[in-house]
Amino acid sequence: MSHPDFKNKGNALGKFIEECGEALAAAGKTVRFGWSSYNPLPGASTETNEAWLRREVTDLEEAISRLKESRRW
């Protein structure tokens, strides 16, 4: 997820690539451990894999829109 200070930093393709990687990480953890699983380590977020994946997909959709807009697709 983008920190507001960095939302418009870098180029659209770079942001798209970064968000693809983050969505893949969330999807991989979901496949491996399940939708309702979360990081059990002390101090870690209790966000479920489903919530994490949903958040990353939203970020990826925004990155796709930004890329399409930047290239006038």
- Domain membership of residue 66 (yes or no) is yes
Mean of the per-residue pLDDT values for the chain?
Answer: 92
- Domain membership of residue 1 (yes or no) is no
Number of domains within the chain: 1
Could you tell me if 34 and 49 are in contact, meaning their C-beta atoms sit under 8 angstroms apart?
A: yes
Residue range of the domain that includes 19:
11-36+45-71
- Domain membership of residue 2 (yes or no) is no
- Domain membership of residue 50 (yes or no) is yes
Mean per-residue pLDDT for 6-35?
92
CA 41 – CA 60 distance, rounded (Å): 27
pTM for this model (two decimals): 0.84
Could you tell me if 20 and 71 are in contact, meaning their C-beta atoms sit under 8 angstroms apart?
A: no
CA 25 – CA 43 distance, rounded (Å): 20
Q: Is pLDDT above 60 for 30?
A: yes
Mean per-residue pLDDT for 46-65?
98
How confident is the model at residue 9, as a pLDDT? 65
Angle between helices 49-71 and 12-33 (to 10 degrees): 160
Mean per-residue pLDDT for 45-71?
97
